[in-house]
């Protein structure tokens, strides 16, 4: 009996030369992966990468285009007739704790042909904690529960190249935050799904981006942009209103943070979201059945 050929994977890693210790560890664990044919591109987002192992493609961007567009550039750098079946988007401070992580992600994809992307469990390497934003569903209390998911944690995810290209890639204008939700909605609107495989663990230091004003502003702006770009018209005000209520309750004790969030909200309402291509009502129903009604 002949064995099936190895899966081909194109890995995209961004750097801003600001993680001198973490980046080499991330790359070492990536290049140590076994059981797959792997190509890697490092994208210097506004810089010339100061670290690039032999055999890795390097792209230097003269300015920081943001994470989504930087990832698009990386995917384009490995496109063409030799493009891999899968793309693995990988944060440069993550680490693959075993040499078969990619092979196991591919195995999950082979078992679930309906899934356009496979999401591993992301956990802090010291505490083992998986923070809520890394669990790609609304009910994130149990990060060990597998299943079909409707969002994604963008920093570590395996996506089928054909689905990624057909869906239109990452929304480059977002710069940072919620680009995974926008992409996931488009993937679901194609009749595809995502799958969360928590038994496959990837390490990533847990931090709190909410401590940064940029996070608060862009999260609010990009929520509005996702709504305008992807939701049927009657759901747009419901989605935005829901998050105004949720955020006000969450941040009611921090007026400065709440003011920054509302600044981003106003920025989003002023426009800039790009072309509007709302998902169908049948997709709304599929998302709702999968546990993510697109009003939250």
The full set of domain ranges for the chain reads: 8-203, 211-277
Which pLDDT tens digit goes with each residue over 49-73?
Answer: 999 999 999 999 999 999 999 999 9
108 Cβ partners below 8 Å, 6+ apart? Answer: 115, 118, 195, 197, 200
CATH class of 8-203: alpha beta
Of the pLDDT bands very low, low, confident and very high (cuts 50, 70, 90), residue 174 is very high
Average pLDDT for 24-44? 98
In the predicted structure, residue 3 carries a pLDDT above the cut 70:
no
Widest CA span of the chain, in angstroms? 66
188 confidence band (pLDDT: 50, 70, 90): very high
pLDDT value at residue 138: 80
Exposure pattern of 196-232 as b/e (b: 16+ CB <10 Å)? bbbebbbbbebeeeeeeeebbbbbbbbbbbbbbbbbe
What is the rounded CA–CA span in Å between residue 143 and residue 145? 6
Whether the predicted pLDDT of 128 surpasses 90: yes
Region 164-185: mean pLDDT is 97
Please write the tens of the pLDDT for every residue from 86-111.
Answer: 999 999 999 999 999 999 999 999 99
Over residues 147-168, the mean pLDDT reads 96
Average pLDDT, the chain: 95
The set of residues, in sequence order, having a beta carbon less than 8 Å from that of 296 and lying 6+ positions away, is 138, 239, 242, 243, 246
Report the C-alpha gap between 55 and 17 in whole angstroms: 19
- pLDDT tens digits, 207-265: 766 567 899 999 999 999 999 999 999 999 999 999 999 999 999 999 999 999 999 99
What's the pTM value of the predicted model, to 2 decimals? 0.95
């Amino acid at each position: 009996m002949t064995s099936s050929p190895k899966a081909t994977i194109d890995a995209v890693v961004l750097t801003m030369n600001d993680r001198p210790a973490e980046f080499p560890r991330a790359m070492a664990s990536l290049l140590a992966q076994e059981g797959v044919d792997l190509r890697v591109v490092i994208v210097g987002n506004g810089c010339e990468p100061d670290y690039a192992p032999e055999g890795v493609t390097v792209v230097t961007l003269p300015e920081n285009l943001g994470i989504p567009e930087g990832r698009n550039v990386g995917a384009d750098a490995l496109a063409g007739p030799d493009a891999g079946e899968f793309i693995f988007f990988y944060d440069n401070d993550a680490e693959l704790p075993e040499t078969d992580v990619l092979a196991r992600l591919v195995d999950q994809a082979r078992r679930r042909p309906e899934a356009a992307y496979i999401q591993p469990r992301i956990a802090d390497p010291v505490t083992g904690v998986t923070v809520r934003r890394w669990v790609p569903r609304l009910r994130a209390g149990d990060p060990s529960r597998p299943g079909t998911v409707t969002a994604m944690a963008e920093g570590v995810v395996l996506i089928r190249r054909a689905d990624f290209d057909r869906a239109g890639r990452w929304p480059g204008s977002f710069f940072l935050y919620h680009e995974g939700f926008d992409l996931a909605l488009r993937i679901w609107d194609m009749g595809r799904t995502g799958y969360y495989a928590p038994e496959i663990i990837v390490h990533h230091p847990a931090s709190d981006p909410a401590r940064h004003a940029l996070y608060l502003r862009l999260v609010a702006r990009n929520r509005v942009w996702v709504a305008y770009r992807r939701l049927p018209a009657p759901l747009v005000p419901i989605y935005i209103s829901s998050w105004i209520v949720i955020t006000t309750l969450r941040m009611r004790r921090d007026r400065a943070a709440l003011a920054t969030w509302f600044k981003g909200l106003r920025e989003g309402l002023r426009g800039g979201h790009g072309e509007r291509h709302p998902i169908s009502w049948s997709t709304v129903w599929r998302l709702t059945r999968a546990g993510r009604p697109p009003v939250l």
